[in-house]
């Protein structure tokens, strides 16, 4: 047992005697911070949202909202978090605390009824409130104190972005069953920009806590965070059965819902070697431990196919923790990133104590949740070549528009020159035991004119790709039909307004 500690609302708090698998949610509630609630224990409802100080994109520190129900408390060793209780500010002794601007807007605009979900909404809204590039582009209609008027129709450029720059996708992982979402949206679109006296805004100008090497042992079970990749690989060589985690968005569900426990968990989320993003002249390389939000904001639209993927991948709360390494490591046939990466002709860089090897992603998956990754190997990064195909699309078919699991996912990357398909790459998810490349359909397109006859013939081929099954999300016939429709949709989108 070590002196692992978390700074909670400005106060250092020892993690002991919590078990190594104890979630941050349970850790906080056991210490009286009951604003953090459990609703689903799967990262879908957001009632457990808290803020974590993370390395920033536009400032040294970003306040990032995460699901406390998924992340182990031990994974926050040395880090700094703020709960809903820590947002309000204290005045003179004996005087009431002053509500945070987000809390104030939620109160005056009727954004809360039973109150169960409200603290989670408030934390997710606060993360967006402090997003530096939102503040830089906030409209003049939102005041510095957050008291601006906002009506149902004052939605800025579209229904998902407010005149104050607030992106409603920040709340895509938060569910409310009482108020409906209109008053919550009104509150979000009413908040202004942080004042100069705002301590959490000031905190962004300083670096976040540096990663600490963690060796937390309780009741014979360990949570380890080595300081370097070399240390991780040495550990994995001796303990190949250890569970490797980054954002814990998958493992956290296993712990909560299936009561999974591990003798040894090794965290790689803060390893510098796994957190690089490089755009070279001939390829892009993305570290396996960068969160999807970090990738999205660092790429800033330079990879349009990933730009289409990210808003459809779970929720912002999940994307703030989930990684490409984790999504590939689970080997799920319905993970959203593999189809897009397959379309990008990506490869996976695997590392062990003896060195590295690069495996094309098309050859990586070998069976249901199985891959060529050997015991002791770690996913270090993902690479894909440049230049990028100019015609891309990511189509996700699911029961909900956002924050849902795919029934079918299709990613396209096509080079179309002088009306002919010079190269086609199509990645599929949800239609086989693994994510797959649509090789037959690619062959049916390449070298052919990008025309109705070609596309209709290729759509028939695409409907026959994979081995779709019937389950509670969709029937096999529906999945097959959606494959063909997806290609027809892409063709319609690329030829809209074009006359022959």
SS3 content of the chain, % helix, strand, coil (to 5): 30, 25, 45
Whole-number Å distance between alpha carbons of 433 and 60: 42
Q: Where are the domains of the chain?
A: 32-67+83-210, 272-385, 391-495
pTM: 0.93
Residue with tokens 């690619």: 442
CA torsion sign for 35, 40, 42, 46 is negative
Determine the topology of domain 32-67+83-210 in CATH.
Answer: DNA polymerase; domain 1 (1.10.150)
CATH topology of domain 391-495: Enolase-like; domain 1 (3.30.390)
pLDDT (tens, 9 = 90+) of the chain, 500 residues, equals: 458 999 999 999 999 999 999 999 999 999 999 999 999 999 999 999 999 999 999 999 999 999 999 999 999 999 999 999 999 987 666 777 899 999 999 999 999 999 999 999 999 999 999 999 886 655 533 333 333 333 334 434 578 899 999 999 999 999 998 888 999 999 999 999 999 999 999 999 999 999 999 999 999 999 999 999 999 999 999 998 999 999 999 999 999 999 999 999 999 999 999 999 999 999 999 999 999 999 999 999 999 999 999 999 999 999 999 999 999 999 999 999 999 999 999 999 999 999 999 999 999 999 999 999 999 999 999 999 999 999 999 999 998 888 889 999 999 999 999 999 999 999 999 999 999 999 999 999 999 999 999 999 999 999 999 999 999 899 999 999 999 999 999 999 999 755 44
Q: Which fold has domain 272-385?
A: 3.30.465
Tokens representing residue 296 in the block: 């999205």
Instruction: Tell me what pLDDT residue 403 has.
Output: 84
φ, ψ of residue 473 to 5 degrees: the values are -90, -35
Distance CA 165, CA 276 (A): 28
pLDDT of 3 reads 86
Among the listed residues 232, 251, 289, the one whose alpha carbon sits nearest the alpha carbon of residue 70? 251
Alpha helices in 245-375 (DSSP H): 251-257, 292-299, 304-309, 316-319, 324-329, 337-343, 361-364
């Amino acid at each position: 047992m070590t002196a692992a500690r978390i700074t909670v609302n400005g106060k250092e708090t020892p993690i002991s005697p919590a078990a190594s698998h104890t979630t941050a949610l349970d850790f906080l509630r056991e210490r009286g911070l009951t604003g953090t609630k459990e609703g689903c224990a799967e990262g879908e409802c957001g009632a457990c949202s808290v803020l974590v100080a993370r390395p920033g994109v536009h400032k040294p520190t970003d306040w990032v909202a995460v699901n406390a129900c998924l992340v182990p408390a031990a994974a926050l060793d040395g880090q700094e978090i703020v709960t809903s209780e820590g947002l309000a500010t204290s005045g003179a002794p004996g005087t009431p605390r002053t509500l945070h601007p987000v809390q104030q807007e939620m109160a005056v605009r009727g954004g809360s009824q039973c109150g169960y979900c409200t603290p989670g909404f408030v934390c997710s809204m606060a993360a967006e409130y402090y997003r530096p590039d939102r503040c830089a582009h906030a409209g003049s209609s939102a005041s510095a104190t957050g008291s601006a008027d906002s009506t149902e129709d004052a939605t800025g450029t579209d229904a998902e972005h407010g005149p104050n720059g607030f992106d409603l996708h920040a709340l895509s992982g938060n569910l409310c069953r009482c108020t409906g979402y209109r008053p919550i949206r009104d509150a979000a679109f009413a908040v202004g920009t942080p004042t100069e006296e705002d301590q959490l805004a000031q905190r962004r100008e300083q670096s976040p806590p540096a990663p600490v090497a963690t060796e937390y042992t309780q009741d014979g079970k360990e949570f380890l965070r080595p300081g370097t990749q070399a240390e991780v690989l040495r550990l994995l060589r001796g303990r190949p059965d250890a569970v490797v985690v980054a954002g814990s968005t998958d493992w956290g569900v296993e712990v909560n819902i299936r009561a999974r426990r591990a003798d040894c968990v090794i965290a790689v989320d803060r390893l510098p070697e796994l957190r690089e993003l490089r755009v070279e002249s001939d390829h892009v390389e993305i570290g396996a431990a960068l969160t999807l939000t970090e990738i999205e904001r660092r790429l800033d639209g330079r990879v349009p196919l990933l730009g289409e993927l990210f808003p459809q991948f779970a929720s912002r709360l999940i994307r703030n923790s989930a990684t490409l390494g984790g999504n590939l490591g689970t080997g799920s046939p319905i993970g959203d990133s593999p189809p897009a990466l397959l379309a990008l002709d990506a490869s996976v860089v695997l590392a062990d104590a003896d060195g590295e090897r690069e495996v094309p992603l098309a050859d990586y998956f070998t069976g249901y949740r199985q891959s060529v990754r050997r015991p002791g190997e770690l996913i270090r990064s993902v690479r894909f070549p440049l230049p990028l195909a100019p015609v891309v699309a990511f189509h996700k078919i699911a029961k909900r528009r956002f924050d849902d699991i795919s029934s079918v996912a299709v990613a396209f990357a096509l080079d179309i020159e002088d009306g002919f398909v010079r190269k086609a790459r199509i990645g599929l998810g949800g239609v086989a035991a693994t994510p797959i490349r649509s090789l037959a359909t690619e062959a049916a397109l390449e070298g052919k004119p990008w025309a109705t006859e070609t596309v209709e013939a290729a759509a028939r081929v695409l409907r026959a790709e994979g081995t779709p099954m019937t389950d509670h999300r969709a029937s096999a016939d529906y999945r097959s039909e959606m494959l063909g429709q997806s290609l027809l949709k892409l063709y319609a989108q690329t030829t809209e307004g074009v006359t022959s």
